[in-house]
Amino acid sequence: MRGLVSGTDSFALAAPTRDLYYATIEFYASIGFIEAKSWSKQEGNRDDAYCADAHAEAWLLAADDESDDTAVLKIRLIPSPSSSTDSNSTQDPRASKDDWRSFTGQLTLRSRRLGAVISQLDAMNVIFKGYPAHSPTELCLRDPLGTPIAITERHHALSSLTSSDRASLDARRLRKASDAAALKQAILDDPSPTTSTSPNGTTKQNGKRKRIGVMTSGGDSPGMNAAVRSVVRMSIALGCEAYAIYEGYEGLVQGGDLIKQMTWEDVRGWLSEGGTLIGTARCLAFRERKGRLLGAKHLILAGIDALVICGGDGSLTGADIFRAEWPSLVEELISTGVLTADQCAPYQHLTIVGLVGSIDNDMSSTDSTIGAYSSLHRICESVDSIGSTALSHSRAFVVEVMGRHCGWLALMAAVSTGADFVFIPERPPFEADWQDKMCASIKRHRKLGRRITIIIVAEGAIDRELNPITPDMIKNILVDQLHLDTRVTTLGHIQRGGTPCFYDRYLATMQGCEAVHAVLESTPETPSPMIGITENTFTRNPLMDAVKMTHAVAQNIEKKDFAAAMDLRDPEFSENYETYIHTSQVRLDDPAFTLPDHKRLRVAIIHVGAPAGGMNSATAAVARYCLNRGHTPLACHNGFPGLIRHGHEGGVQELKWMDVDGWTMRGGSELGTNRDTPDIDIGMAAYQFQKHNFDALIIIGGYEGFSALNQLAQARVNYPSFRIPMVCLPATISNNVPGTDYSLGSDTCLNALIAYCDATKQSASASRRRVFVVEVQGGRCGYVATMAGLTVGALAIYTPEEGISIDMLARDVAHLKHSYALDRGENRAGKLILRNERASDTYTTDLIARIIATEAKGRFESRSAVPGHIQQGGTPSPMDRVRATRLAIKCMQFIEKHACSTTIPALPDETSSVIGIRGISVVFTPVHGLVHDEADHKHRRPKDAWWKHVATTLGILSGRSLPPAIVDRSEAQHDRPLQP
């Protein structure tokens, strides 16, 4: 007779209290279970599948990627009159039985990685026994409810084979995990809410969760709120509790309501907010030991022993002093009877992690600080606007920007706007008669036909004798010596205000996440780290080393050692200064800079692919560098079709200095661009190269430009005119060119996109329960969708790399329902989902919006939105302008290095390269190697994308990749009084 029972459906556990309910969910989540569905009494409309007596219920699923095996647990919250569990669950099993396998009602789970389970349980301080003891194949333990648990390697209860044995026999069944499975595993491999292998861990010795405080201090800067949001949410995701210290150090000194526990929803919508929503204030009391003693007391009472501080060098210095004094402060609190030894026992060490929030970008050991690029945006917008009125009246404008001890803002603004002159504290004018030199330079510009004069002055600008150089002083010089109608504009605090730009949101979010990991990995011996960034790599450097080098800059300026001051700035600062000199100062007849006749080149510039912000900036930089060096810059209009068909009819034009005036701030492509590559007529392309005597070629474009470079390099064997140095400068909003982490135009695109998404999200919030599905560009590369999703707080993203499935949509609809269930009726309730235009041929943007609307069953609405080509147009962002100018100069230096005779039959591979930012460096990579090793030609993108880990971070911060119980537990703390 066939058996009436064919297998196990699920196992149900009942928790008598809400704390045990959440603890049990997190226990099973830590050993690999994920939440498949859940319900709580607050939602109403209980499905018949849920227990009628339950106040909440979560169904957990553990699935084996290498088989169809699953295990389902149903965790139910069924309140009991007693707050404790039964006696069987609370007693120590070691007191009653020697062999734990004899317990009644044991739940047995199967694992393929018993060794990893043992490590996990050890990290959690969970008591267990292994059988056999010398080489366990089975573990016995209890969950938080007291349920007897066994975890075994056996493939089957009646089998003598373990999972590892069977794996060797069944190797043919192994298959590579899908992208979705890999993402899931990446989340599960992260330190979970109850497990951490770090020395500090996520729990303290008193058994309570680790509490991480976050505060902002010093001057406010755009992006601080994004940093606070990421610290709060990453702390919660990793099993810690997050606290905000309001009003900076004043909040530490005052304590009380200024130290507040933060929940997941408390920081919703903070990404787009300028300034700091948790406040900052000057605190003289904290500079005294008495004030720091009060700060230590309030932190201990709040149970906090880790601080993430976002501020400038003064704020971070104060934090490090606080950490150094912490042991003596604790000892004094005990000796004076303010706190007891038992109260202080778990808080013997204070962990400090620094994030640099400063619009001046004046901290050493990092390329950029939080807020600097947003401030630069404000400055460039203002100077661009001033340029219009200056042009109308042929006026001069002297613009003062912030930067008392650091000239970064002034220098970057000068590069980005093509200013005639710039004054910064690190590099005063060399000459004693600098006034005459400045006037001579402006005269040359005016003689060439320039109608406007823009001079940028940092507020800390000085001459070589340390005398201040003020805007009014410069104005008087221009009026008295050049008789120019001159105006002074001081931008002031407009530079601090406004919504943060894309880069500051990205920087603050990723650094905030890195700060939480740094807290959990810190030991008492670890120097306080400062989270920084070099090119495209996030770094941890000793905080005080960075502060000392920062202070050393000002000290060397005071000693008039300006060369040392420049050296102490990061290399990119000095490079940008030289870039500015090359592209803004007319040096056509300067024998110290101009090359001899035999080294002068005819350099062709061509745009290929779709337009992107920064193309014109790069072209202008190449042209002006060429003119100053004695080269001849040649503009090839309308891409390769224009060169091939009209090269003899004016399609190739020699550029003069004023031809590119004002191009730095122009979007699109002034030369004209299209997607055709030279293989439309490679022979005619070679003819035009020879006819116009090209000595070098710079291709500015996207994947088509990359392909064009490869075609020209391969054709060298047949066409001698292609045997010249050639370089591709990637410029595409899709950021899909192999050989670089960034392409020109991607930052401009993302700034346009987040402005669109912010406005869309505001509309969604006004309508309360509305979801917008926004379609973004990017071709078959998900970079734009991923980065925009991270920086606008999208609930989910869909990319070509990951694709879209019905299961994915079902999970995201469930996530939306859960998210709206947590809505407390406050503002910022709008939700966004971003879909790349090529993520799926089946699941279109409109279809996804309709699916969500249907499945919502009236709980919320759904709409679709398509920003379209707004992502390609507009004024280039300051970052794209600066990068374009800097990389263009490097391209020219590459060409000068590799200039050679076309009679050589075969040139080295490196003479046809792609310039790119990779990790911490700017590199030139031969196109031949990129084509064979790194390019995915079918999908027109790199095989491996550095930014894929950003999608994982996005999933965590949106809650999409986390068990709902983690967010629920956080929200359960809302409005609860502080519990030490």
Which residues are tagged catalytic? 360
- Residue 857's contacts (CB-CB under 8 Å, 6 or more residues apart) are none
Helix extents (H) in 340-371 = 341-344
| Packed helices 372-393 and 408-417: angle between N→C axes, nearest 10 degrees | 50
CB 59 within 8 A of CB 38: yes
CB 375 within 8 A of CB 501: no
From CA 887, how far away is CA 882, in angstroms rounded?
Answer: 8
Task: Give the DSSP H or E segment for 477.
Answer: helix 471-482
Task: Give the DSSP H or E segment for 34.
Answer: strand 34-40
Angle at 484 between CA 580 and CA 452, to 5 degrees: 45
CB 376 within 8 A of CB 412: yes
Q: Kind of pairing, strands 453-458 and 241-245?
A: unpaired
| Residue entry with tokens 């509790």 | 241
From CA 296, how far away is CA 327, in angstroms rounded?
Answer: 10
| C-alpha closest to that of 220 among 279, 284, 285 | 279
CB 259 within 8 A of CB 278: no
Please name every residue paired with 532 in a beta bridge, in sequence order, or none if there are none.
539
- Residue 933's contacts (CB-CB under 8 Å, 6 or more residues apart) are none
Q: Which residues of 411-421 are buried (b: 16+ CB within 10 A; e: fewer)?
A: bbbbbbbbbbb
- Helix %, strand %, coil % of the chain (to 5): 45, 20, 40
Query: Chain centroid to CA 122: how far?
Result: 34
From CA 275, how far away is CA 282, in angstroms rounded?
Answer: 15
| C-alpha closest to that of 742 among 578, 933, 926, 503 | 503
CB 813 within 8 A of CB 852: yes
- Residue 378's contacts (CB-CB under 8 Å, 6 or more residues apart) are 491, 494, 495, 497, 498
Q: Which two tokens stand for residue 325?
A: 């004094």
Please name every residue paired with 205 in a beta bridge, in sequence order, or none if there are none.
none
CB 771 within 8 A of CB 833: yes
Cβ neighbours around 378 below 10 Å, total: 23
From CA 405, how far away is CA 458, in angstroms rounded?
Answer: 9
The type of residue at 827 is N
Cβ neighbours around 449 below 10 Å, total: 10
Q: If you ran DSSP here, which 8-state letter would residue 501 be given?
A: P
From CA 834, how far away is CA 757, in angstroms rounded?
Answer: 9
| C-alpha closest to that of 580 among 231, 341, 886 | 886
